[in-house]
Structures are given as C-alpha cells and as structure tokens.
Amino acid sequence: MKLLKELVWSLSVVLILYTSYALAPFLALPQTKTAQVPVFQDQAFCFSVLPLQVVQSWILEQQLESKDVAVQEALKQMAMNFKTERNNTLADFHFDVHGAVAYYLIEHAKKSFSCLYIPGTGQNEGWLSAQYYGIQSGIFYFAEPLQAKQRIFFEQSLQRMQLTSKTYQARKHHFELQGQPYTLLWEEHAFSLILPKNQNKPIRKLIPNGFHLSAPITLSNLQPALQFLEKVEACSFNYYGAQLNAKQELSLDFEVLLTFDNDAKRSDFLAGCKSALPDWDWAGNFVRVNHAVYALKKEGKQQLFICSNPKKYIHNGNIACQVSNSPLTCSGNPTLLTKLDNAGWAAAILELFPIYRGISDFSARTKSVSTANNTIRWELQKDYFAAGEFLKLLSTTTTQ
C-alpha cells in the first residue's frame, strides 16, 4: 500500500496537467522512449516508469475506447488531492514530466530501506529535509526518515550510483528483484507478470485453493511494534472468505504457511506477535481472537502453519503442500477477498468504505486469475479495461 501511495505522489503531477488539458501537446509520444534513471550497486529491487507515457496510454484508452466517466473522475480527484498538499521543501523543485520515476529497495546489513526517485530540477544537492535528498537530476523521497547509519550508508551508495539510460514501453515494464528478471505486461483487458524461469531455490508452499497467493516477503522500515513481520521470508496463503458469528464478531477462513530463515527467527516472530497483540489469547498451538480460534503448527525448523479450522486443513498431522521454485504464484477467485457471510447490516456499513468497495468492484469484474508457464495473468471481463479499473482501485487507496 505504501508503494502505491508513493508512486501516486509522482503520477499526480502529470494528472494535474491532464485535468488542465496541458498534456495535449504530448499525446503523440512514441511507443518507446529513453530516459535516465539512477542505478545503485546495493539495490535489491528497482521499478521505474515514465509517468507521462503511462498516463498517455490511460488517456488514449479511456477517451477513445472505454469512455468511462468514473475513470475521469478518479483522475480529477487524485489531482485535486495533490493540489491541496503544499510542500515547502519542494518549493523550488520542478518535476520533469519527460523523466522516469523509480522505486528502490536498498539492501542494508542491519535494516533495508526504500525510497522513491523523482526527476526534476531547481533543488539543492544533499539533504533537503529528513525525508528528501537532492541530486543534480532529481530528488529521493523516503516515506520514513532514515536512521543515522542508514543515512550514512545511503550517502555512500550515492558515490557508487550511476545514471543509466533505459528504454521504456508504455505497456511492458522490465525490472529485477534480487537479481532475477521480471516483466509486467499491461494489456487492454488484463495484466500479466512474466516470472524468472525456475532460478529460485525450491520452497515448500500450500497447494493452491480458494484465492491463493505465494510470494517472497521483504518488509522493512515498519513501526517498532510491527517489526516482527520483517522476520518472514516467504508466505503461502489460501483465503476462503469471512463471516460474522452470532455475536457479530469477525471470523476468517484461511490457511497460511510462513517461511523463515531459521528457527530463531520463527521464535522471534511468535514472540513479537504476542508482544504486539497482548489482548489475544495465546497458547502453544493456538491463538484465540475474540471467539475465533486459529491453530498454530510448526513445520520443520523454518515454517509456521496457521489456519482457521485444523480439522479441515490438517489431516493426520499433515498439511496439503507442494515444493516449487517459482517465486510467485497467484490464482483462484478474488471475490473471496471481500466475501462476508452473515453480514446483515454490517455489509451496508462496509460499502461505505471506499477501499472495500474498490476491491469488491475490481474483483467482481475479474474474469480469471491464474499462474501458468511462469506467468501470472489477471484477466478482466471483456467490458472492462485494465488501465481504467486499476486506476479506480488505486484512487480508493489514496483518498483515505
């Protein structure tokens, strides 16, 4: 969620131009364009885009094909939200609408951290504030101020940083995660993520069921109370929905398999859970949340299985797993994400929350989600355009 909000921060600049019709001269941009982006030796992840190129594809698709009024309203609302936020630190900064915006995860021995690069001119070089660092070609933005050692490490990384020219396509984005290549295809009615070809180490995952997601986890810069989540190395998750019991308490139906580097980190994770959530009733093999009971089962020395119904998901002490070296897997029915049985009046209350309504609408308009031949494909129904539906979903996460 934080990544989406950081990217929208930069995209909103272009959206402001759109809503004021200032982008008209740029609508004839070529399908490919070259721009420079910083490259760090210590980066574990970098995803960069040309905001103008992306927005151009959205505008042309929405105006010439879907003509979805809700998309135009989402664009205007996002731009208005940005206009109301004045940032004195960036008073002299001029955003380069032709430049590339990039999101980074920088590896640090003690604690990795993330930042957003925004191209532009007019800024001073060096620390502009606790969250902004200026270089000649733009600024780096940190969602949270860095610790002292991280600041020093970042400054040292800048000395080895290089500006590298990259060629961008509006509907095809190449990036690397932990040195592995990925490609994101932005299609008319679908998104596809092409994964590395079985170059990761094998990992034990759940057999896909319900709505399934298996992925490596790299969390950093979390609040102290939530830093136990940074111990998790990978997660495999099957979700089946939720319901309200007779006392109107929420009960989730799921199974999740968490993977850690070693048994010590698994123990630290459990200790962190108990410390952060003392109101929950913790025991050796279960945790009680209100009147819902979730089972806890250690698997080997590196994994932890948690589920809502051990009789259903644990058979003779075993869980339904498979070994796979695919880094990401996503499949199943996404409408389960917002399924809530026995909701009654609570369902009407949930509809008042934009993020719930946005996810619910996006899921209902999905045709299929699958992973095959090293490709995750999220396809929408033929009447819905991927760019517009994603933009409407994105707007719900930035207007809370």
Which of 11-15, 207-211, 279-283 has the least mean pLDDT? 11-15
Burial of 119 (0-12, 13-18, 19+ CB in 10 A): buried
Does 1 or 249 have the greater pLDDT score?
249
Is residue 136 in a domain?
yes
Mean pLDDT of 26-47: 82
Buried-exposed string 310-319: b where 16+ CB fall within 10 A, e elsewhere: beebbeeeeb
- Residues 229 and 165 grouped into a single domain: no
Is residue 18 in a domain?
yes
Buried-exposed string 365-388: b where 16+ CB fall within 10 A, e elsewhere: bbeebebeeeebbbbbeeebbbbb
Residue with tokens 């009407």, as numbered in its chain: 348
- Residues 119 and 251 grouped into a single domain: no
Backbone dihedral region of 125: left (phi > 0), alpha (psi from -120 to 50 degrees) or beta? beta
- pLDDT digits 0-9 by tens, 165-216: 999 988 888 888 877 889 999 888 999 999 988 666 788 999 999 999 999 8
Mean pLDDT of 372-377: 91
Does the pLDDT of residue 399 top 60, yes or no? no
- Residues 45 and 147 grouped into a single domain: yes
Is residue 220 in a domain?
yes
Joined together, the tokens standing for residue 306 give 């948690």
Mean pLDDT of 94-111: 87
Taking the CB of residue 123, how many other CB atoms lie within 10 A of it?
A: 22
Q: Among residues 182, 211, 242, which one ends one of the domains?
A: 182
As for how many domains the chain has, the answer is 2
Of residues 99, 105, 74, the one with CA closest to residue 8 = 74
pLDDT, residue 63, reads: 64
Residue with tokens 């108990």, as numbered in its chain: 274
pLDDT, residue 62, reads: 65
- Residues 88 and 218 grouped into a single domain: no
- Residues 257 and 175 grouped into a single domain: no
Predicted TM-score (pTM) of the model is: 0.79
Is residue 395 in a domain?
no
List residues bridging with 192 in a β-sheet: 185, 377
Mean pLDDT of 64-68: 71
- Residues 34 and 167 grouped into a single domain: yes
Does the pLDDT of residue 19 top 70, yes or no? no
- Residues 240 and 159 grouped into a single domain: no
- Residues 316 and 276 grouped into a single domain: yes
Is residue 191 in a domain?
no
pLDDT, residue 4, reads: 44
CB 133 within 8 A of CB 126: yes
Q: Among residues 182, 214, 239, which one ends one of the domains?
A: 182
Domain carrying residue 302:
203-375
CA distance 119 to 136: 9
Q: What is the dihedral of CA 109, 113, 118, 122, to 10 degrees?
A: -70
Backbone angles phi, psi at 172, to 5 degrees: -145, 120
- Residues 123 and 209 grouped into a single domain: no
pLDDT, residue 219, reads: 78
DSSP single-letter state for residue 57? H
% of the chain at pLDDT higher than 70? 85
- Residues 156 and 213 grouped into a single domain: no
Does the pLDDT of residue 103 top 80, yes or no? yes
- Residues 226 and 326 grouped into a single domain: yes
Is residue 250 in a domain?
yes
pLDDT, residue 242, reads: 92
Q: For 221-257, give the DSSP string.
A: S--GGGGGGGGEEEEEEEEEEEEE-TTS-EEEEEEEE
Is residue 53 in a domain?
yes
Does the pLDDT of residue 142 top 80, yes or no? yes
Mean pLDDT of 252-256: 96
Does 71 or 85 have the greater pLDDT score?
71
Is residue 343 in a domain?
yes
CB 160 within 8 A of CB 346: no
Does the pLDDT of residue 2 top 60, yes or no? no
pLDDT, residue 91, reads: 84
- Residues 285 and 212 grouped into a single domain: yes
